Amino acid sequence: MSNYSNIDSKLIHGGIDGDENTGAVNVPIFQTSTYKQQGLGKNKGYEYSRTGNPTRQALESLIADLEGGVAGFAFASGMAATTAVLSLFKTGDKIIISSNVYGGTFRVLDKVFNNFGITYEIVETSDLAILEKSIDADVKAIFIESPANPILSITDIKEVALIGKKHNILTIVDNTFMTPYLQRPIELGVDIVVHSGTKYLGGHSDLIAGLAVVNSEELAERLAFIQNSTGGILQPFDSFLLIRGIKTLGVRMDRHIENALFIAEELKKHPGVKAIYYPGLPESQGYEINKSQTSGPGGMLSFELDEKYNIHKFFESLEFISLAESLGGVESLICHPSSMTHASIPYEIRQKVGIVENLIRISVGIENKKDILNDLEQAFLKSYEG
């Protein structure tokens, strides 16, 4: 048994810690597809790497440990993880999704699972009364994000989990933005957590990966079957990279929060900013709920650029802050949700949920916070058209 209980230590020593055979402090990269068997029906726990690989298993036990779940699963991308989880459902089932759910999650439901008769309904899940009213006999799951991308709307996860239990349906949280360092939905009562490991967990914008964690043996068995059957697994080297990234998640996230809070406070006062969305600002929607279910507001913020500024010039004027999709890396990234990350969501829905044309999202990196602010300031100056 380990003698630590804090998440900071778990990030480094959780799951399978090092290699017992050699004393290596890191889990080796088992770059193998198959395993020599001692005889018919006799093996050392591994037969074929789609089914199981020691490096991937180290990562899977680590994420299960961090989220406080029964079992973890590693996939080739966040979308592969979400697709595997959605494969738990069947024709006729309906999934409720948050109105600001990740664009790719919307797209896979709308354009892929729809073909198999699994339907979805977009619901403003931050309003629990609306959520509960939308549950009918076909609804088999509620899939939420909190904070939800890109205007960082907050949903009360504990209450959603209670509603799920009351109606005997599964609750699923995409925990990509918060990570288990800040928020552990399974401890709040939900059944399944999914992650894009590409973002904060990997942390260096050098990897595409996905994870899922379940809260019961029954779900673990079903998801293991789906993972092995559909085969969207994470490779050994990428599993190693993700384990390596997770070790520094705590220190990185602390710095992301410090920087994001600073930038949010500064942007709030800026004449070029019409509205700002950051869960760390006391006036933000769901501030108290977010405070109660997380240990920090994270490193993502969005703002609406005032019409007096040219949005194209703004993006083109930035120097080291890169215009790019994705988030959660050490470097600051900026994006235009309506044409980039959320372009797959129809225009009318985008307008309804606040993804307007002048909305800008920043993944605040861990560079010096004054340098980040200076880069933004000079872009405001250059893009001003009065």
Ligand X SMILES: *Cc1c(COP(=O)(O)O)cnc(C)c1O
Name the residues that contact ligand X, by CB under 6 A: 77-79, 102, 104, 145, 149, 174, 176-177, 196, 198-199, 208, 210
CB nearer to ligand X: give 175 or 215. 175
CB nearer to ligand X: give 120 or 380. 120
Q: How far is the CB of 52 from ligand X (least distance, A)?
A: 22
Q: How far is the CB of 298 from ligand X (least distance, A)?
A: 11
Look up 238 and say whether it is catalytic: no
Q: How far is the CB of 77 from ligand X (least distance, A)?
A: 3
CB nearer to ligand X: give 210 or 298. 210
Look up 50 and say whether it is catalytic: yes
**Which 3-state string (H, E, C) describes the chain?**
CCCCCCHHHHHHHCCCCCCCCCCCCCCCCCCCCECCCCECCECCCCCECCCCCHHHHHHHHHHHHHHCCCEEEEECCHHHHHHHHHCCCCCCCEEEEECCCCHHHHHHHHHHHHHHCCEEEEECCCCHHHHHHCCCCCEEEEEEECCECCCCECCCHHHHHHHHHHCCCEEEEECCCCHHHHCCHHHHCCCEEEEECCCCCCCCCCCCCEEEEECCHHHHHHHHHHHHHHCCECCHHHHHHHHHHHHCHHHHHHHHHHHHHHHHHHHHCCCCEEEEECCCCCCCCCHHHHHHHCCCCCCEEEEEECCCECHHHHHHHCCCCEECCCCCCCCCEEECCCCCCCCCCCHHHHHHCCCCCCEEEEECCCCCHHHHHHHHHHHHHHHECC
Q: Two tokens at 228?
A: 């092995």
**Which 3-state string (H, E, C) describes 223-279?**
HHHHHHHHCCECCHHHHHHHHHHHHCHHHHHHHHHHHHHHHHHHHHCCCCEEEEECC
Which position's Cβ is nearest ligand X?
A: 78
CA-based nearest residue to 331, from 299, 353, 308: 299
Q: Which of 50, 222, 313, 382 is catalytic?
A: 50
CB nearer to ligand X: give 174 or 304. 174
Q: How far is the CB of 265 from ligand X (least distance, A)?
A: 24
CB nearer to ligand X: give 290 or 383. 290
Strands 333-335 and 322-323: parallel
Amino acid 37 reads: Q
Q: Which of 156, 174, 191, 238 is catalytic?
A: 174
Q: How far is the CB of 310 from ligand X (least distance, A)?
A: 28
Q: How far is the CB of 327 from ligand X (least distance, A)?
A: 6
CB nearer to ligand X: give 78 or 329. 78
Q: Which of 102, 181, 200, 277 is catalytic?
A: 102
What is the dihedral angle through the alpha carbons of 133, 139, 141, 145, rounded to the nearest 10 degrees? Answer: -50
Q: How far is the CB of 180 from ligand X (least distance, A)?
A: 14
CB nearer to ligand X: give 199 or 369. 199
Preceding omega of 147 cis (within 30 degrees of 0): yes
Q: How far is the CB of 197 from ligand X (least distance, A)?
A: 7
CB nearer to ligand X: give 135 or 172. 172
Look up 174 and say whether it is catalytic: yes
Look up 268 and say whether it is catalytic: no
What are the residue numbers of the active site? 50, 102, 174, 199
